[in-house]
Amino acid sequence: MGDTEGVAGLVDRLDPSEDFNYQHFRMRHMLAELLRPGLPPGCEAPDFTLPSTDGGPLQLSGLRGQPVFLHFVSYTCPVTRGGVATMEELYRLYGEQVRFVEVLIRQAHPGELHGAYQSNEQKLQDGRDYKREENVPWPVLVDDLACSVQRAYGGLAAAAYLIDSRGMVAFCGTWGQSPALRDALDDLLARGGTGTPAGKGTDRRPHLAAGIVAGRSGPARGGRQALIDLELGFPGGNILMLVGGVLRPLLAPLALRTTPIPPKQRVALLAGLVGAIAAVGICVRRVRR
């Protein structure tokens, strides 16, 4: 209990409640995200009612009787933007058996174009823009200004929860979609949509490949300041995403996938990224000279 309370206290110092809807992304926000555990499998999923970008409200408990894939997204998040293709693939595979619901939370990388939220209407408009720009076929809900639902689910920025047909948390992915999530979906559906944990139950590993390859337009929505803050909070992040975008035709089959990357391909992917970043660094130094 003491360790849990200590981690919770550290997270609150890194990402304080009174500044949860922050104006600038910093490294401490990334550190807080790495420490947040999310909700454990076996607990009841907190109920909520939120407005939908399609019009009326949607209540989570109203979806009982069918598993729910609950995904938290941000308009300026590279993990959100990079994961759209993966979400589409999962929806194609499981959309008839599982209810897909996304919740727009706080601005991951606020800037001069899309800053920290000041009103519910501003947040709802970003939700509408996200759904339209990404051509999202499933419901997109919008959290309130206090980020009540995001907080209730552990405060995670890119969480992917699988909730069974009784309303119990079956799986928690703390960094968005992953092959472990697909295993959990298969496991839960094989048991008729009920039972926890599903698959591994929890996946805390950062899955950043999709964000690197296809996510830069996320923080770019925030504007120049958002990209500057991203570099301050995650040094080298902009170069990684620039290189990943250029190499997308080559890397997409490896990075934008719902199944595990074979070990040999994983090594090749890492080596290719390192080599590409080194090449960009050499070019930059030559230009400066």
Helix (H, G, I), strand (E, B) or coil at 64: coil
Q: How many domains does the chain have?
A: 1
C-alpha to C-alpha distance for 132 and 150, rounded to whole angstroms? 22
Residue-wise pLDDT tens digits, 26-72: 999 999 999 999 999 999 999 999 999 998 999 999 999 999 999 99
Residue-wise pLDDT tens digits, 115-149: 999 999 999 999 999 999 999 999 999 999 999 99
pLDDT of 261 reads 66
Residue-wise pLDDT tens digits, 156-179: 999 999 999 999 999 999 987 788
The single-letter code of the amino acid at 283 is C
C-alpha to C-alpha distance for 247 and 166, rounded to whole angstroms? 43
pLDDT of 236 reads 93
Segments forming the whole domain that contains residue 220: 2-288
Residue 215 has pLDDT above 80, yes or no: yes
pLDDT of 252 reads 86
Residue 275 has pLDDT above 80, yes or no: no
pLDDT of 256 reads 82
Residue 264 has pLDDT above 70, yes or no: no
pLDDT of 178 reads 80
pLDDT of 4 reads 76
Q: What is the mean predicted confidence (pLDDT) over 230-259?
A: 90
C-alpha to C-alpha distance for 66 and 119, rounded to whole angstroms? 33
C-alpha to C-alpha distance for 118 and 123, rounded to whole angstroms? 8
Q: What is the mean predicted confidence (pLDDT) over 216-235?
A: 97
pLDDT of 284 reads 52
C-alpha to C-alpha distance for 213 and 225, rounded to whole angstroms? 21
pLDDT of 282 reads 64
Q: Where are the beta strands (DSSP E) in 32-107?
A: 49-51, 57-59, 68-73, 99-104
Residue 234 has pLDDT above 70, yes or no: yes
121 contact partners, CB below 8 Å, separation of at least 6? none
Kindly report the average pLDDT of the chain as a whole number. Answer: 91
CATH assignment at residue 89: 3.40.30.10
Report residue 234 CA to chain centroid gap: 16
pLDDT of 289 reads 59
Q: Which two tokens stand for residue 166?
A: 């009784």
C-alpha to C-alpha distance for 8 and 171, rounded to whole angstroms? 21
pLDDT of 276 reads 60
- Asked whether 59 and 49 are in contact (CB, 8 A), the reply is yes
pLDDT of 254 reads 80
* Bond prior to 137 in cis (omega within 30° of 0): no
